[in-house]
């Protein structure tokens, strides 16, 4: 298509009627040339041991990539292949919200969170990547614009209630993060409801060792992963704050009992963060209203993707709650979260990130991925998510 075809005579020469006619036809041509009619032609999944990537191909051949929750890739894979894929194929790529509704309301008999929300997330993110690429914009520009270009990240690691990592290994991991440039680390105790209020609780031992290793200047965050009753959560929140100066305490109590969360929030000064196990606008709103946590940490690849996260951010902001994204996947998921964080006012300001040296194989599937420097993750510029998948490399890692 030659751009010259759309040149018009010099302004001063154009008669008013010609000008109006030209404007009308230019606007009409714009609509015609715009990719308004692009539909979703194909939804493919790439299941690896440690991730499920989603590739959406549009009717004009354009491609977008997304990622689901990685807690159970086979289930997400099956959900997309048997339930979601059929609902979106043939639909307009532009109908982000209607596509989301269609996937959700057709399948939510299976439960409105968890597997469904995580599976929707992968398709939704891929569609946003594709839409932004169709317009030559970054996803954050399409989501309403960029409030920031980078975000401080904290290095996050889990010790499996002491089973996955010894105290010495935890110290070494924290030191690795510091060496990489992180200025904050999070110790995930992964205690779970299964060990509620266990007398063998090692949190103080781990927190003491990690605090000593990182020194007083680095921010220390502690995640109990739902292991306490409210009564013990209150006691431990105070001790962790007073003895180790933790920045915030995450999910001290079960995510099933928002009243217990509220009891801890009311009792202690240390900010309480929760929200990684809440999905969709409705569950986050209930957490806000009933649990009243100080900070929310929904996850873009779990809570329903970028469409839903934008709504969650609106609700959080309306109730005065900042968001610090839960973010445990090093490539597409992080890129999506960064564009989301860039496009909301009520950002932490902090984001979770991982030790990339533990994800070398997965990161090897990217021709271009997110940049961590100076303790911060940079929000990728476009087009789309601003990261590029090496499909050949992905195919080599696919599990069948």
| Residue 10 binds other proteins (CB under 8 A) | yes
Neighbouring C-beta atoms of residue 311, cutoff 10 Å: 19
Least distance from C-beta 188 to Mg ion, angstroms?
A: 6
In the set 47, 150, 188, 281, which binds other proteins (CB under 8 A)?
A: 281
Least gap, CB of 372 to other proteins (angstroms): 24
One residue of 75, 78, 135, 231 binding other proteins per CB under 8 A: 135
Give the per-residue contact string, 265-304, with Mg ion (x = CB under 5 A; - = no): -----------x----------------------------
Selection from 305, 297, 211 nearest residue 251 by Cα: 297
| Pairing mode of beta strands 52-58, 376-378 | unpaired
Task: Report the C-alpha gap between 229 and 264 in whole angstroms.
Answer: 9
Residue 141 binds to other proteins (criterion: CB under 8 A)? yes
Are residues 94 and 38 in contact, defined by beta-carbon separation less than 8 angstroms? yes
Q: Residue 41: in which H helix or E strand, if any?
A: strand 40-47
Q: Which is nearer to other proteins, 39 or 81 (CB)?
A: 39
* Residue 375 CB, nearest approach to Mg ion (Å): 21
Q: Which of 87, 302, 310, 376 binds other proteins (CB under 8 A)?
A: 310
The CA angle 326-329-335, to the nearest 5 degrees, is: 85
Q: Examine residue 20 and tell whether it contacts other proteins (CB under 8 A).
A: yes
Binder of Mg ion out of 223, 278, 308, 352 (CB under 5 A): 223
Report d(CA 215, CA 192) in Å as an integer: 28
Taking the least distance from each CB to other proteins, the nearer of 26 and 259 is 26
Pick from 267, 315, 356, 363 the residue near other proteins by CB under 8 A.
315
Give the footprint of other proteins on residues 48-107 (CB under 8 A). 60-62, 92, 94-99, 101
Residues numbered 366-395 forming contacts with other proteins, rule: CB under 8 A: 382-383
Query: How far, in Å, CA of 195 to CA of 228, rounded?
Result: 8
Q: Residue 111 or 136: which CB sits closer to other proteins?
A: 136
Q: Which of 85, 311, 329, 376 binds other proteins (CB under 8 A)?
A: 311
Given 49, 205, 318, 395, the residue binding other proteins (CB under 8 A)? 318
Residue 231 in the binding site for other proteins (CB under 8 A) = no
Distances (CA, A) of 279 to 112, 117, 161, 272: 8, 7, 25, 18
CB-nearer residue toward Mg ion: 104 or 154: 154
Contacts of 105 (CB under 8 A, 6+ apart): none
Residues near 92 by beta carbon (within 8 Å), at least 6 away in sequence: 37, 38, 39, 40
Residue 3 touching other proteins (CB under 8 A): yes
The reply to whether 134 sits near other proteins by the rule CB under 8 A is: yes
Note the helical H segments in 80-193. 85-88, 96-107, 114-135, 139-142, 167-180
Among 202, 282, 363, 378, binds other proteins (CB under 8 A): 282
HSE toward the beta carbon, residue 17, CA cutoff 13 A: 0
* Planar angle of CA 201, 207, 213, nearest 5 degrees: 145
Neighbours of 214 (CB within 10 A): 21
Could you give the CA distance from residue 302 to residue 222 in angstroms, rounded to a whole number?
Answer: 21
Question: Considering beta carbons, is residue 89 or 318 the nearer one to other proteins?
Answer: 318
Q: Decide whether 124 or 223 has the Cβ nearer to Mg ion.
A: 223
Contact range with other proteins by CB under 8 A, out of 21-29, 159-167, 227-235, 347-355: 21-29
Decide: residue 351, CB within 10 A, 0-12 exposed, 13-18 middle, 19+ buried.
buried
Contact residues toward other proteins (CB under 8 A) are: 1, 3, 6-12, 14, 16, 19-20, 22-24, 26-31, 33-36, 60-62, 92, 94-99, 101, 133-138, 141-147, 281-282, 285, 307, 310-311, 314-315, 317-319, 343-345, 382-383
């Amino acid at each position: 298509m030659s751009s010259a075809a759309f040149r018009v005579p010099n302004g001063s020469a154009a008669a008013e009627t010609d000008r109006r006619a030209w404007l009308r036809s230019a606007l009409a041509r714009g609509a015609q040339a715009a990719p308004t009619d692009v539909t979703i032609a194909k939804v493919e999944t790439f299941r690896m041991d440690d991730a499920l990537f989603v590739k959406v191909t549009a009717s004009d051949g354009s491609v977008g990539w997304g990622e689901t929750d990685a807690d159970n890739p086979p289930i997400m894979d099956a959900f997309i292949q048997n339930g979601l894929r059929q609902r979106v194929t043939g639909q307009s790529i532009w109908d982000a919200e209607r596509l989301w509704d269609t996937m959700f309301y057709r399948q939510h008999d299976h439960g409105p969170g968890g597997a469904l929300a995580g599976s929707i997330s992968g398709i939704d993110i891929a569609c946003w990547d594709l839409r932004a690429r169709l317009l030559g914009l970054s996803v954050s520009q399409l989501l309403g614009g960029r409030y920031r270009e980078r975000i401080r990240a904290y290095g996050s690691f889990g010790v499996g209630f002491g089973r996955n990592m010894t105290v010495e290994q935890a110290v070494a991991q924290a030191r690795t993060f510091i060496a990489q440039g992180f200025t904050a680390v999070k110790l995930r105790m992964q205690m779970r409801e299964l060990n509620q209020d266990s007398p063998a609780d090692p949190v103080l031992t781990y927190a003491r060792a990690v605090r000593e290793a990182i020194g007083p200047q680095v921010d220390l965050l502690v995640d109990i992963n739902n292991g306490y009753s409210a009564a013990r959560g209150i006691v431990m929140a105070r001790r962790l704050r007073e003895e180790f100066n933790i920045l915030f305490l995450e999910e001290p109590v079960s995510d099933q009992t928002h009243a217990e969360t509220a009891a801890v929030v009311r009792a202690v000064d240390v900010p309480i963060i929760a929200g990684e196990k809440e999905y969709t606008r409705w569950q986050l709103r209930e957490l806000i209203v009933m649990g009243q946590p100080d900070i929310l940490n929904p996850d873009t690849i779990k809570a329903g993707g970028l469409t839903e996260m934008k709504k969650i951010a609106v609700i959080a902001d309306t109730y005065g709650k900042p968001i610090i994204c839960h973010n445990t996947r090093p490539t597409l998921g992080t890129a999506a979260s960064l564009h989301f964080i860039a496009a909301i006012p009520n950002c932490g300001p902090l984001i979770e990130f991982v030790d990339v040296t533990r994800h070398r194989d997965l990161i090897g599937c990217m021709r271009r991925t997110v940049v961590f420097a100076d303790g911060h993750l940079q929000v990728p510029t476009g087009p789309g998510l601003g990261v590029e998948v090496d499909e050949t490399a992905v195919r080599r890692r696919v599990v069948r």
